[in-house]
Amino acid sequence: MSDANKTILLVEDNADDVALTLRAFKRSHLMNPIAVARDGVEALDFLFARGDHADRANAPLPTLIILDLKLPKLDGLSVLKALRADDRTRLLPVVILTSSKEEQDLISGYSLGANSYVRKPVDFAEFVEAVKVLGIYWLMMNQSPPERTAP
């Protein structure tokens, strides 16, 4: 269905949520490769080819980042801030996918340059539907900004 080269970076610390999100992508027939970062630091390492991800130098950046807010080490909003501060990832589409719909999270998320904010529903059927819509929109309908490679 979608361009198999378009990678998705899922930043999520909860293993259950990772499994469910991957399952939701599968059930939505989205076959794109999905990389998973377990905390904010790993997410930035992955994007900027540092630390454990140093071998990613020159690898293409993901097409979409799905970002949870509550993360160990570095939280989602700090990751977003770092992304928007770097020229290479300044325009990268970021969708916040999180449990909370606290007003302060919504305001901070959009203020820091999130492209979308989706709340994880408890009902898994709704969750699958949300992930499906999200994947179709960002991977197929949306025109991505001009591609850049990781350093």
Partner 1 sequence: MKISTKGRLATTTALASIVLIAGMISWANHEVDDANAKRRQTIELTRGLTELRLVTFEYMLNRHERARQQERDVSQRLDRAIAANAFSGPRQSEVVSDLRERSTTSHRIFEELAAADAADADPDSVKRFEAQLSSRLLILQQESLADAFALTDFSTERINAAQQRVVLVIAAGLALIALTTGGGAWLVHRDVLAPIACLEQATREVASGNWNHKLAVVSDDEIGELSRTFDAMTRSLQASFAQIERSNQELAALNQEVEAFSYSVSHDLRGPLRSMDGFSLALLEDYGDKLDDEARDSLQRIRAASQRMGRLIDDLLGLSRVTRVELALKPVNLSEIAREIADSIDQQNPARAVQWVIDPGLTLRADKALLQIAMQNLLENAYKFAGKTEQPVIRVGAIERDGAREYFVADNGVGFDMAYADRLFGAFQRLHHESEFSGTGIGLAIVQRIIRRHGGTIRAEAKPGLGATFFFKLKEQSA
* CB nearer to partner 1: pick between 54 and 125: 125
- Looking up tokens 């007003």 gives 103
Separation of alpha carbons 127 and 93, rounded Å: 20
Separation of alpha carbons 7 and 20, rounded Å: 18
The residues pairing with 118 across neighbouring beta strands, listed in sequence order, are 97
Least Cα distance to 134 among 114, 106, 104, 107 occurs for: 114
Separation of alpha carbons 151 and 113, rounded Å: 22
| 2 makes contact with partner 1 (CB under 8 A) | no
| 125 makes contact with partner 1 (CB under 8 A) | yes
Region of 31-39, 58-66, 99-107, 138-146 interacting with partner 1 (CB under 8 A): 99-107
| 14 makes contact with partner 1 (CB under 8 A) | yes
* CB nearer to partner 1: pick between 83 and 130: 130
* CB nearer to partner 1: pick between 99 and 144: 99
7, 99, 115, 142: which one contacts partner 1 (CB under 8 A)?
Answer: 99
| 70 makes contact with partner 1 (CB under 8 A) | yes
Separation of alpha carbons 115 and 38, rounded Å: 21
Q: What is the binding site for partner 1 (CB under 8 A)? A: 14, 16-17, 19-20, 23, 69-70, 98-104, 120-125, 127
